Amino acid sequence: MPLSVAPKKRHPRPGRPKDPAKREAIFEAAKKLFPEHGYDGVSMDAIAAEAGVSKLTLYSHFKDKDELFLIAVEAVCKQQLPPEVFELGPDRSCIREVLLRAGRRFIDLVAGENTIQVYRMLAARAPNNSELSDIFFEVGPRLTIKPLENFLREADKSGLLDVPDPVQSAEHLSSLFKGAWHTRRIIGCSGQLSPEEMDAHVRSVVDLFVRAHEPRYPSAGQSSQ
Partner DNA sequence: GTCTATATAGCGATAGAC
Partner DNA sequence: GTCTATCGCTATATAGAC
Provide the binding-site residues for a copy of itself, judged by CB under 8 A: 37-38, 40, 119-120, 122-127, 129-131, 133-134, 136-137, 141, 165, 168-169, 171-172, 174-176, 178-180, 182-184, 186-191, 204-205, 208-209, 211-213
Regarding 46 and contact with DNA (CB under 7 A), the answer is yes
Q: Which stretch in 18-26, 112-120, 147-155, 189-197 sits in contact with DNA by CB under 7 A?
A: 18-26
Taking the complex as a whole, the smallest distance from the CB of residue 152 to DNA amounts, in Å, to 45
CB 32 → DNA: shortest distance, Å?
15
Q: Does 43 bind DNA (CB under 7 A)?
A: yes
Q: Is residue 28 a contact point for DNA (CB under 7 A)?
A: no
Angle between helices 166-186 and 95-110 (to 10 degrees): 40
- By the 8 A CB rule, do 144 and 109 touch? yes
Q: Give 44 or 167: the residue with its C-beta nearer to DNA.
A: 44
Least spacing, CB of residue 47 vs DNA, in Å: 8
17 — phi, psi (to 5°)? -70, 145
| Cα distance between residue 146 and residue 156, in whole Å | 15
Q: In the complex with a copy of itself, which residue's Cβ is closer, 10 or 211?
A: 211
Shortest Å, Cβ 44 to DNA: 4
| CA pair distance 164, 153, nearest whole angstrom | 8
C-alpha–C-alpha distance, residues 42 and 35, integer Å = 9
Does position 17 interact with DNA (CB under 7 A)? The reply is yes
DSSP H stretches of helix in the chain: 20-37, 44-51, 55-61, 65-80, 95-110, 113-124, 130-137, 143-157, 166-186, 195-213
Query: Residues 48, 25: contact at Cβ < 8 Å?
Result: no
Instruction: Compare residues 41 and 52 and give the one whose CB is closer to a copy of itself.
Output: 41
Cβ contact 161:210 at 8 Å: yes
* Contact range with DNA by CB under 7 A, out of 50-58, 104-112, 177-185, 201-209: 50-58
State the residues that interact with DNA by CB under 7 A: 14-19, 22, 42-46, 52-57, 59-61, 64-66
